[in-house]
Amino acid sequence: MTEPRMNVESFNLDHRAVAAPYLRVADRKVLPHGDVIVKYDVRFAQPNVAHLEMPAIHSLEHLFAEKSRNHSDRVIDFSPMGCQTGFYLILQGDHTFEQVEELVAATLQDILDADEVPAANEVQCGWGANHTLEGAQRAARAFLAERGQWSQVFAGESR
């Protein structure tokens, strides 16, 4: 039985068929004045099999949002998925896979080199106590270790 087509792109993705970790274009929009924004699915954990813990997600969000802008002025947003398996990276303009891969890899390396989570306090964050630098670094290290597989989204593709 085929599910009805949904308005949200990721709801149309068969999450049983993907093989995390990976990077993929999840959406591309051309705005009324011609500007392009592209949303990337940065999937850390295998859907319905594994997930990231919330303090690690929260810290990855802070770290990636801050550090990625050292590598690109085209970063619009880096947001966690509610299912806790990854993030959406939104960039202005079109980029090659290699450019996005390099941005993600450089930022994750910055996370590994970090000695604190930026803005992890009550003044700058709505839940400043809910962070773990070590958890974020574990997740970043695991994702980076699989860099050679990031372009292979679906199970059965040559990994």
CATH number of residue 38's parent domain: 3.30.1360.80
Q: What's the pTM value of the predicted model, to 2 decimals?
A: 0.94
Q: At what angle do helices 133-145 and 54-68 cross, to 10 degrees?
A: 70
Assess if residue 156 is contained within a domain: no
Domain containing residue 141 = 17-149
Query: Which sign does the torsion angle of CA 146, 117, 98, 153 carry?
Result: positive
What is the model's pLDDT at position 51? Answer: 98
Give Cα separations from 157 to 9, 12, 50, 84 (angstroms): 21, 20, 20, 24
Assess if residue 122 is contained within a domain: yes
Assess if residue 141 is contained within a domain: yes
DSSP alpha helices (H): ranges in the chain?
54-68, 97-113, 133-145
Question: How confident is the prediction along the chain (159 residues), in pLDDT tens digits per residue?
Answer: 577 899 998 999 999 999 999 999 999 999 999 999 999 999 999 999 999 999 999 999 999 999 999 999 999 999 999 999 999 999 999 999 999 999 999 999 999 999 999 999 999 999 999 999 999 999 999 999 999 999 999 987 764
What is the model's pLDDT at position 1? Answer: 57
Assess if residue 11 is contained within a domain: no
Assess if residue 6 is contained within a domain: no
What is the model's pLDDT at position 158? Answer: 60
Assess if residue 158 is contained within a domain: no
What's the domain count of the chain? 1
Assess if residue 43 is contained within a domain: yes
Query: The tokens 């997600």 sit on which residue?
Result: 57
